[in-house]
Amino acid sequence: MVVTNVSCTVNNCFFWAKDNSCAADSILITSDKAALEHSDMAVGQESRNSLVQEIGETPARFIAETACHTFKAR
């Protein structure tokens, strides 16, 4: 099943919308460890697929070890 309804409380994000929803076409979520290892994480939508291929799988142990990397400050 693919999730199409994302709830998000990061209200200073460019993609954040009314009622704590996300208006981005797609989002990228990885483990925090992977984000630290790939400083180029903040890429445009068009480059995201190749970046995801490069990063591969990034398991996390706890909720606190994951986050949305599509965040873009307003």
Residues making contact with ligand SF4 (CB under 6 A):
6, 8, 10, 13, 15-16, 22, 24, 27, 68, 70-71
Instruction: Supply the minimum distance, in Å, between the C-beta of residue 70 and ligand SF4.
Output: 4
Specify the residue, 10 or 36, whose C-beta has the smaller distance to ligand SF4: 10
Coil, strand or helix: which one is 63? helix
Name residue 67's beta-bridge partners. 30
Handedness of CA 42, 45, 46, 49 (dihedral sign): positive
Q: Cβ 40 to ligand SF4, closest distance in Å? A: 17
Backbone CA torsion sign across 46, 28, 32, 14: positive
Q: What is the smallest separation between the CB atom of 41 and ligand SF4, expressed in angstroms?
A: 12
Q: Which is nearer to ligand SF4, 24 or 35 (CB)?
A: 24
Which amino acid would we find at residue 46?
A: E
